[in-house]
Structure 1
Amino acid sequence: MKKTILALALTILSTPALAFPVTVESCGKPLTFDAAPKRAVIQDLNMSEMAFALDLQSSMVGVTGITGWYKVDDAFKKELGQIPELASKEPTVENLVAANPDFFFAGWYYGMKPGGDVTPDTLAPYGIKTLVLTESCVHLDKNRPAASMDLLYGDMTKLGKIFGKEQQAEALVAGWKTQLADIKKRISNSGETRVLLYDSGEDKPFTAGKFAMPTALISEAGGTNIMSDMETSWGTTSWETVAARNPQFLILLDYQDGAGYQKLLDFLKAHPAMKETDAVKNERFVALRYAELTPGPANIEAIGKIAKAMHPEAF
């Protein structure tokens, strides 16, 4: 009995305590939690997948902004379980307050708009603390570094701290870094490839700029985003600019999970300037889902897909 008690005491002493209160940075502002949230609402596919990666479902009372925009697969539905979707697109304050949450994870133009109805400031009077997706902070602060994998790693670590799962978050990030180090080793002698991400748009292409996550993914996969000098996250440019930079490889955003990219490719093949680019002539592309191209756990698999498609000889 004494040995059992001693073993139990040693276990308790060696188990790290949940260190609350914790303070994290959210778009340059401190956000303090005296305890882990118990009634969280998560916006969008990518942020929901971040929450699932930390097994936060038992602390969630809703998600927002998913089925109004995207198709979801069976794996996502299984992870979501019985958690309700409170709004299929952008939530309203009323949507959120009705669920009596104590936490909201969203971003600028990921469920919130600067000066809009739903912001950290408008939710605060209802006792709702908002963590803002770091990638989106550029909409308030242009003096930010270009996109890197730290956008994902940092937000996962913040979620871990907020929910008392810091060690789990750190283990996830360490595993991701190991996977990417292996990819980088494989492609080290492949040389860089000029890449265009094509999201949508016919008059003007809607694409990823300096501060958008795809710029980081392309770099990790051994490429260069030809629009990385565009001082925005997501935005439009001209077809003349894109064609003059002659992309060698395309990333096509597939909103329909398997069927949406073909329309984009067909348009490029018919476009008088784009059909002459190396990427279109050689049909060198990969189609990726929204959740793979916005900050979230799916970024790691996406980097692998891009790298294998661009540098098949390395795999």
Structure 2
Amino acid sequence: MALVYTSRWSGPLVSPMATGAESSTTNASPLMPLSWTSMATSPEGRDRPPAPNQRPGTDRGRISEGAARPARPRVMLRSANMKTIAIRSGMAVALLTLVAACGSGTAATTASAPAGTRVTSCGVTLEIPAVPRRAVAMEQNAAEIMLTLGLADRMAGTAYQTDPVLPELKEPYTRVPVLARQYPGREALLAEKPDFVYSMRASAFAPEAAGSREDLAKLGVPAYLSSNDCEDRALIPATAEFEAIFKEIGDIATVFGVRERGQAVVADLRRRLEAAERSAPRDLDADVMWYYSGTKVPAIAGDTGLPGTITKLLGSRNAFADVEQQWTEGNWEEIAARDPDVIVLADLTRGGDGDSAEAKKRFLREDPVASELTAVKNDRFIVVPGSSVDPSIRSVTAVEQVGQGLARLHG
């Protein structure tokens, strides 16, 4: 008997998991939304970019709670003669997964993770009893890693979109519910019955956001946090390295039972990274400044973040290499004293002060101090998407773009 799935609800068909008591207040760092006003630093002096595409200096804003989705209805299957059969949603999941594996364009995730799969995230060992079916990616960079691995059918939600989605991921992204404009609050998150939470920012697990990873674990929800922004600042690597990005992709692939797909993604990224390094101009005598946002108080890349790593990899010098922070609050007099040869502009779509690349260029050309910089007078700008300057699936693209830009300007 041929069975055809019918339902008036488009959400994932998975039995909800039980939730526990509300989380207690923790010492996790506060979430700081898209506009900002103060530097967040660790005791060790390294900065703590509080949320995606944010740098030192913004106002704290209101957390968007997001709206809970409708209650999950009973799933119905119809046979060829339209007889309606009520079945348990677990069977529907199996049938839909089989259909997806046969031609939806989504990578098949029917393989089970090994029993008792473990991954370590920022010093916390996560126990993953089975392949997650209702994962939530707390921001765009986390979502794009999952979608690149073909995991749209395992996602119950995402949040915090900061840039246009990568063209190749637009279609699967539209199939993932967006839970909030910024981070979903605890109630909004738990309303989705998540069985795995993934974030690249510690601020996602602040009390006023999702709550601490410890509290989520008590509810049986493992939460993975990128090593680039651990709650314990001592666990953050001294510099942002591509190997850490590749390991993170491998960890997520392992959790979802698509290890071979993860290996293929990493292999392609390695190939592109090596090619970008080989094609970079040799013996380039150029000081490069990475300008993230802001005009009166510009956010400038120091030595320990991804921009510092990319600059070294391409054989150039970071104009602020002596600053042992990922990002720092600059001032134009100091920038003028360093007088960079090239300025890399992060192109942001938030609409804030000095966010877009064009807004930065306009300011640089009109400001009496900035307009005298060598890079500005010679129009030596390289533009990269804002999300690519944090460790993510886009980071290799940033290497390619900056390498090509340096070759064009100094080749």
Amino acid at match of 2:237: R
Contact 1:209 1:229 in 2 (8 A): yes
- Asked if 1:299 corresponds to 2:399, the answer is no
For residues 300 and 34 of structure 1, the distance between their equivalents in structure 2, rounded to whole angstroms, comes to: 32
Q: 1:114: how far off?
A: 8.0
Change (3 A) 1:215 1:226: same
For residues 64 and 206 of structure 1, the distance between their equivalents in structure 2, rounded to whole angstroms, comes to: 24
Contact 2:117 2:127 in 1 (8 A): yes
Q: 1:152: how far off?
A: 1.3
Contact 1:138 1:233 in 2 (8 A): no
Change (3 A) 1:313 1:270: closer
Q: 1:108: how far off?
A: 3.2
Q: 2:307 aligns with which of 204, 214, 225?
A: 214
Alignment partner of 1:189: what SS? coil
Amino acid at match of 1:31: L
Aligned length: 298
Q: 2:371 aligns with which of 256, 268, 275?
A: 275
Amino acid at match of 2:255: I
- State TM-score, norm by structure 2: 0.66
User: Which has more helix, going by share of residues?
Assistant: 1
Contact 1:42 1:64 in 2 (8 A): yes
Q: 1:21 aligns with which of 108, 116, 129?
A: 116
Q: 1:111 aligns with which of 200, 204, 207?
A: 204
Q: 1:118: how far off?
A: 2.3
After superposition, the C-alpha distances for 1:11-34 in whole angstroms (9 at most, x for unaligned) are xxxxx9853322222112222212
Q: 1:261 aligns with which of 354, 357, 370?
A: 357
- Asked if 1:234 corresponds to 2:327, the answer is yes
Q: 1:286: how far off?
A: 1.6
Higher Cα Rg, which structure: 2
Change (3 A) 1:73 1:270: same
Q: 1:307: how far off?
A: 0.5
Alignment of 1:57-68 (within 5 A): 57-66=152-161
Q: 1:85 aligns with which of 167, 172, 178?
A: 178
Flag structure 2 segments of 5+ consecutive residues without an equivalent.
Answer: 1-110
Q: 1:39: how far off?
A: 0.9
- Asked if 1:284 corresponds to 2:380, the answer is yes
Q: 1:40 aligns with which of 126, 135, 139?
A: 135
Amino acid at match of 1:25: T
Change (3 A) 1:17 1:103: closer
- State TM-score, norm by structure 1: 0.84
Identity %: 25
- Asked if 1:308 corresponds to 2:404, the answer is yes
Bigger shift: 149-158 or 228-237?
Answer: 228-237
For residues 178 and 264 of structure 1, the distance between their equivalents in structure 2, rounded to whole angstroms, comes to: 33
Change (3 A) 1:96 1:138: closer
For residues 165 and 213 of structure 1, the distance between their equivalents in structure 2, rounded to whole angstroms, comes to: 27
CA RMSD in angstroms comes to 2.8
Change (3 A) 1:37 1:142: closer
Partner of 2:61: none
Contact 1:135 1:213 in 2 (8 A): no
Partner of 2:190: 97
Partner of 1:144: 237
For residues 71 and 174 of structure 1, the distance between their equivalents in structure 2, rounded to whole angstroms, comes to: 25
After superposition, the C-alpha distances for 1:159-202 in whole angstroms (9 at most, x for unaligned) are 11111122221221122111121222222624253211111112
For residues 166 and 144 of structure 2, the distance between their equivalents in structure 1, rounded to whole angstroms, comes to: 12
